[in-house]
Structure 1
Amino acid sequence: MKKLPLIQLFLIIALGISILANFLLLNREEQEVDPKQVQLLEYYEIKRNADSLMLSGEYSKALERYQEANSLRPATFSSYVDSMTIALSNDLHDHIALGDRLSNHLKKYQGKENILAKDTLKKKQMISHLELQWDSLLIKHNHHLQLLEEAEGKIAKLELNLHQANKSVLMKTFKNQDGVEVKYIGHTINDQAEGYGYAIFDKKGFYEGHWAHNKRNGKGTYYWANGDIYKGEYVDGKRSGIGTYHFSSGEKYIGGWKNDLRDGEGKIIDAKGKEVASGTWVKDELQKDKTKKKK
């Protein structure tokens, strides 16, 4: 016949004791109150509570209750049960010690787990930040590529325009409507001076400004060999419109012109900057003299 394990034997004994205690509790009112019996009932009650705590796994509380029960244990209690109780108490101490060690290991593990979780969170946050930076750099890179492509397109267009402009800028010699030899360099269309250019007139004067059909047209400046300068408007190679004629003496005329002659409203300023004459000019003659007398 197989022997029952120690723990099962103890539980059977505890169960029997609990049944006996219940029986005694039910009948104690009908019997005379005996202090020893009361002590015994209290002992069984505490033992039963300790058994319940042990079965539910609450070893620390069960040990406390067992110790409390031992303090009330009757002197006639079986020595066999005493030895079982002592053995069980020792087992409980071992279980509690083991539970404490497991609890400490669990706390250490939880601490390491918390540290690992924090470190993992930081790494995830860092990865998210780097991903955002990468996306931002990628957007900027694509934008710069677009700007670069646009710039390359503009450069190609400018190179084409410059190439065409170089073809249209020529140096040529021709005679104007007055038969004067003109050596010209500048923009041309259909082999004629057109646009902006420079010219020497029969080695006696120099012009820079706008041209049309080999003639000075638009704004320009003419320099004579004697030091006189005209800066103003031209029409078909003639001074026409508004212009200023600077004499080499320092005086200047500011006003209207027509066919290379002063025509329209104008005035003369002396070398000191003082106005000395003004009025209406016709074919280079002042019609209404407003000459100011010198003080």
Structure 2
Amino acid sequence: MPFYQKPRNFTPLLIAAEKRSVKNGLHHAIFTSNFSKYVGDWKKDLKEGKGKFLTISGKLYEGDWFKGFRHGFGTLSHLNPDGTYTLEYRGNWVRGKPEGIGWWYYANGDVYLGYWKAGQRHGFGTMWYANNTVYVGYFSNGKKQGLGLMVYKSGDRYEGNWENDVKHGFGRFYHLHTGQLQEGCWVQDVCVKSKMCDILIRQFCDRPTEYPIPPNELKYPKAILESHEFWIQQKVGEIDKNLKFCIDQM
């Protein structure tokens, strides 16, 4: 009869050591193989809860984590040569990328506040440019897309449709220094057809036209437009609704 009997709840030392090495709860500092540093909560060996992560390149994230990803609300900053930090982004994150509502402060001085998706500006937002230009409208995959308003440094403004970051479709351009409204259709940032008229405050503008613009319209504008090469290239059933409205108003 053997003198030793294996306990029913016996756990090999190797397995027990692995279990003890799994990080759970709050850890003061964990360093990765590339010398990045994490301080915060863990769950089943993954970052989860509140924590801050400083990379070797000087990027600092402080906020929520879930299953090892930046997930929830958090801020991203970068280290300056003088030891201070400059804020880059604050807002919501999903699986490591900005998603939801957030602010982004660009290095060139631009600032964006609005919706994000998978790290790109996507949805409604406002962009303040360093050259004192402001855009308020919709974005898609980081570019202006859909309806939007652009107010330029000169005070002039465009309100209408955008596509792939440029004016495209029906829109109105207000020449506020001369007191005129340009209304028409844009294609790839170029106005292909429009009509001009004076606005009510023309006489109060900086450089108003000497005389009001008299009404001047083509007799058969729709027939002329339908013979235009741009119109001929359009496929039946694919005419943009805003473009059709523009044509009907001419």
> TM-score, normalised on structure 2?
0.46
Q: Greater helix percent: which structure?
A: 1
Larger strand percent: 2
TM-score relative to the length of structure 1 = 0.39
Question: Higher Cα Rg: structure 1 or 2?
Answer: 1
Greater RCO, 1 or 2 (C-alpha within 8 Å, sep 6+): 2
